Amino acid sequence: MALVYPNMQLSEVVQEHPSLIPVINRFEIRLGLGDRSVSAICNEYTLDTDFFLTVINTFLNEEYFPEKKLRTFHTSQIIDYLTKTNQYYQRYQLPNIERHLGSFISMSTPGNNTLNLIGKFFSSFKEELTTRIRKDEQVWFPYCLSLSEKLHSGPKEELLLNSSQPEEDTIEELLADLKSIMIKHLSGEYDENLCYAVIFAVSSLEKDIKQHNRIRYRILMPMVSAMEKLCI
């Protein structure tokens, strides 16, 4: 997939990749982009253009890993972005799925065991995601920032970064399983439009988390691993 560059019109990029809308919102950029370039919009919103493009390109491209650029970013920039991402999930996407799923279940055949299973499965997923977000806020992010502060208070040393990606992610797996249950095992009478709304909402969150994890695992983790080696 082609990369996004500073001179490109951000509106054209977003038209081609609508999944970027919540991503640019996390930088407090709203729609109504006009014909302005990425660099012009970053200047308008007082954003680091290199960091903005690194997030966008990492989000869109699975193999993108700009090692040299990553060395120039402060950990707090990445933590701030990931914090806003977590807030977006809690404030908007989880409630959106919950609202659609609640209507779907209440307007379908009473006593439908499959729907009850779906409801319980979503509750388990919500708890898992909420727990991870809480751990991020209380443990992981403060730890990352403390490493960064410790490193920046001493002699400056170059970070040697390596791309990192776990073999599996529990959050991604749970969402994929939830969607699979709905597609493969629904039974009884149910409202098809509400069913589609739930599946589309789940698919949207699934895609966002998968791409968000790419930023988490391919940007933050390599930086933290490198800082640990220098601080220990």
Residues 221-230 pLDDT 10s: 888 888 887 7
**Cα 85 to Cα 213: distance, rounded to the nearest angstrom:** 11
Rounded Cα distance between 91 and 19, Å, is: 17
> How far is residue 54's CA from residue 135's CA, in Å, rounded to a whole number?
25
Reported as a single tens digit per residue, the pLDDT across 102-136 is: 998 888 877 777 888 888 889 999 999 999 999 99
| Largest pairwise CA distance in the chain | 67
10 Å Cβ neighbour count for 70? 20
Identify the pLDDT of residue 1.
63
Q: Quick one: tokens of 205?
A: 């969150």
Give 169-184 pLDDT, tens digit per residue: 788 888 888 888 888 8
0.85 cut: is pTM over it? no
Residue 217 confidence class, pLDDT cut points 50, 70, 90: confident
Indicate the domain borders of the chain. Answer: 10-63, 69-231
pLDDT in tens, 31-86: 999 999 999 999 999 999 999 998 899 888 878 877 677 667 888 988 999 999 99
Whether the pLDDT of residue 159 is over 70: the answer is no
The answer to whether 144 touches 216, Cβ cutoff 8 Å, is no
Asked if pLDDT for residue 155 goes beyond 50, the answer is no
How confident is the model at residue 161, as a pLDDT?
Answer: 46
pLDDT of residue 168: 63
Query: Do 230 and 175 touch, CB atoms closer than 8 A?
Result: no
Residue 135 one-letter amino acid: K
